[in-house]
Amino acid sequence: MKSAVAHLCLALAICAPISSKNASAQPNQAKRNFQAEIDAAIQSAKTAATFEHLGTLVRTCLLPQSGGENLTDNVPSYVADPASAPPRETWYADPAKVFDNLYFVGGKIHSSWALTSKEGIILIDTIYPYNSESLILGGMKKLGLDAKNIKYVLISHAHADHIGGAEMLQTRYKPRIVMGGPDWEWVEKYPNRYKTMAPKRDIVAADGMKITVGGNAVTVWLTPGHTPGTMSYTFTVLDRGKPVNVAYSGGTAFNFVNNTPDPGIKNFQTYIDSQKHMAEKAAAAHATVLLSNHSEFDNAVNKNRMLAGRGKGPHPYEIGADSVQRYFQVMQGCARAAQLRLEQRAAEGTS
Ligand SMILES: [Zn+2]
């Protein structure tokens, strides 16, 4: 693993100390060694990531984060002018039957999942307004699923890449829509930002709430952080008849205010506490599969391709309980490193 990490470091030029100018500063015995704490947090995330969670490591430890919450209420360009939506080849991916009762109807970048039973379908996430019809409805049709059977739509959080098709689905098929309370408030507060995407207020998620259709039960866990209403889930699917437990992580990047100690330090703590909460629920559910709403984090599109060559081998999505726990350790380690940088700024009065 050591050489693998070194190789990654070379490829991505990520191994330079985060604040190398401080490294040569005269250590003050009375002062807290923030750099050592930051380095340890990043190292813990790198160690936890292995090859399985590199996408999450890169996104949360390495790539630049957005500066904070979007407070504007502008109509997105792809809604104002549908011709400006990204071209199909940038987002299209084939749908796939992933487990006996779980189907991928997402795209190259963002996911949507259909959990099926004889009594109906629970749909998780709805992608963008410009591709939800093609990917979700088109994908379901290709897979032999009838969108009229969608009983519930769970929106992991109210960003346009997940809520985009919710209004269309609610209008056409009348499913119940579940979302976190603070994210329902966003949808109502920013009518332009959510134009064509805004479902009418329906079910407000609660921690531990069970959404049940037929033999399937999705347990909703409140994991505020990425947005204040972010939801994650645990549920069971069948792999060739064998029950397999899934942990689904509903929000990953640091899209909250994270560039000033106040409220950044508090926001990171909310995020970290949510990952601990979800890790506990994943462990209690004996989750051996980690799903996300971005392929960047769970490698869904690549794993869908691997399914075709599986034969009698292991299911490509089943990474084991230890690796599922490691996923949440990556998120925690990277969030802690970013939080420590803000703590350092607060302590040094440079905020
Ligand atoms: Zn988001």
pLDDT tens digits, one per residue of 338-347:
999 999 999 9
CA of 107 to the centre of ligand 1 (A): 15
pLDDT value of position 13: 37
CA distance readout (Å), 148 to 126, 172, 345: 15, 8, 53
Residue 25 has pLDDT above 60, yes or no: no
**Ligand 1 mean position, distance from CA 330 (Å):** 18
Highest mean pLDDT among 13-27, 145-159, 292-306: 145-159
Distances (CA, A) of 266 to 45, 113, 296: 20, 32, 27
Those residues whose beta carbon sits under 5 angstroms from the ion ligand 1 are 159
Q: What is the pLDDT of residue 26?
A: 52
Percentage of the chain beyond pLDDT 70 is 91
- Mean pLDDT in residue range 179-187: 97
How far is ligand 1, taken at its centre, from the CA of residue 21, in Å? 33
Q: What is the pLDDT of residue 321?
A: 97
Separation of alpha carbons 149 and 103, rounded Å: 14
Query: What pLDDT is stored for residue 59 in this prediction?
Result: 87
- Tell me how far the alpha carbon of residue 226 lies from the centroid of ligand 1, in angstroms: 7
Q: Are 227 and 308 in contact (CB under 8 A)?
A: no
- Could you tell me the distance, in angstroms and rounded to a whole number, from the CA of residue 222 to the centre of ligand 1? 15
Alpha helices (H) along 233-316: 261-284, 295-298, 300-307
d(CA 91, CA 295): 11
Distance between Cα 98 and ligand 1 center (Å): 24
Q: What is the predicted pLDDT for the residue at 216?
A: 97
pLDDT confidence tier of residue 6, bands split at 50, 70 and 90? very low
Q: 141-164: per-residue pLDDT in tens? A: 999 999 999 999 999 999 999 999
Q: How confident is the model at residue 351 (pLDDT cuts 50, 70, 90)?
A: low
Q: How far is the CA of 3 from the centre of ligand 1 (A)?
A: 33
Report how far ligand 1's centroid is from the alpha carbon of 92 (Å): 19
CA distances to 1, 105, 199, 260, 268 from 184, in Å: 43, 24, 9, 26, 22
Q: Please answer whether residues 91 and 161 qualify as being in contact, where contact means their C-beta atoms are separated by less than 8 angstroms.
A: no
Measured CA distances, 71 to 62, 67, 186, 193, 280 (Å): 25, 12, 10, 10, 33
The pLDDT-based confidence of 212 (bands split at 50, 70, 90) is very high
- How do beta strands 96-99 and 102-104 pair? antiparallel
CA of 251 relative to ligand 1 center, distance in Å: 6
Q: What is the pLDDT of residue 22?
A: 46
Query: Per-residue b/e over 46-65, b at no fewer than 16 CB within 10 Å?
Result: bebbbebbbbbbbbbbeeee
pLDDT of 311 > 80? The answer is: yes
Average pLDDT over residues 179-189: 97
Question: What is the reported pLDDT for 254?
Answer: 86
**283, pLDDT greater than 80:** yes
pLDDT in tens, 69-110: 778 999 999 999 999 999 999 999 999 999 999 999 999 999
The tokens 């939801």 sit on which residue?
Answer: 231
Cα of 56 to ligand 1 centre, how many Å?
Answer: 14
Distance 161 CA to ligand 1 centre (A): 7
pLDDT score for 12: 38
In the structure, what pLDDT confidence band is assigned to residue 61 with cuts at 50, 70 and 90? Answer: confident
More confident residue, 291 or 16: 291
Compute the mean pLDDT over every residue in the chain, rounded to the nearest whole number.
90
